[in-house]
Amino acid sequence: MNFRYRDLFLTYLKIGLFTFGGGYAMIPLMKRELVDNRKWITEDDILDIFAVSETTPGPVAINSATFIGYKLKGFWGAFTATFGIVLPSFVIIVLISLIFDAFMSNRIVQYAFWGIRAGVLALIFNAFIMMFKKCPRHWLAYTIAAAAFILVAFLHINAIIVIIGSALLGLSTLFFTIEEKKK
């Protein structure tokens, strides 16, 4: 890779500074910056990294920054990307904590957050569409996705259990496919 740690830091600083709503809202910006604009990784790589980041403990944005930074530049790349994505949130939270009561009771701020929530919903939906397009076109994949949504959204089953169950279903499909090919 022909770029510097400064480039990696500034890219993740921008991602962390200009996205609200957490990791899922950052996914479209991360894809645009890392895949489309800079071509540091492929679209398949970033989707795999997002999937792994979702299943590991911690925020998906930080996990994916760490994984991508490591893939690009090793340990110091992971450190640089993680520091870049965390720094804006840390500074903003420290500043808000100093004036939290006055800040949250301000009517302008309340309306701004109402608008931000609507925008974040659109970004999350965009991430859903992007991942859906890369999902295998198979009835079992659609069934697993629908069942996972129902279990988490309506039956309030712990997401970790659903993710592990989905992974096991996917692995069992691989096992049965191998067995069928042996016959």
Q: State pTM to two decimals.
A: 0.61
Query: According to the model, what pLDDT value does residue 42 have?
Result: 92
Map the chain to HEC letters: CCCCHHHHHHHHHHHHHCCCCCHHHHHHHHHHHHHHHCCCCCHHHHHHHHHHHHHCCCCHHHHHHHHHHHHHHHHHHHHHHHHHHHHHHHHHHHHHHHCHHHHHCCHHHHHHHHHHHHHHHHHHHHHHHHHHHHCCCCHHHHHHHHHHHHHHHCCCCCHHHHHHHHHHHHHHHHHHHHHHHHC
Give CA–CA dist 173/169, Å, rounded.
6
Nearest residue to 88 via CA among 20, 182, 172: 20
Question: Cβ distance 37 to 98 under 8 Å?
Answer: no
Cβ atoms 44, 37 nearer than 8 A: no
Is the predicted pLDDT of residue 180 greater than 70, yes or no?
no
| Average pLDDT of the residues in 35-47 | 90
Asked if 60 and 21 touch (Cβ cutoff 8 Å), the reply is no
Determine the average pLDDT of the residues in 160-178: 83
pLDDT above 60 for 138: yes
Tell me how long the chain is: 183
* Cα separation, 16 vs 97, whole angstroms: 18
Work out the average pLDDT over 153-159. Answer: 93
Which residues lie closer than 8 Å to 28 by C-beta, 6 or more apart? 123, 126, 127, 130
State pLDDT tens for residues 74-115.
999 999 999 999 999 899 888 888 887 777 788 888 888 888
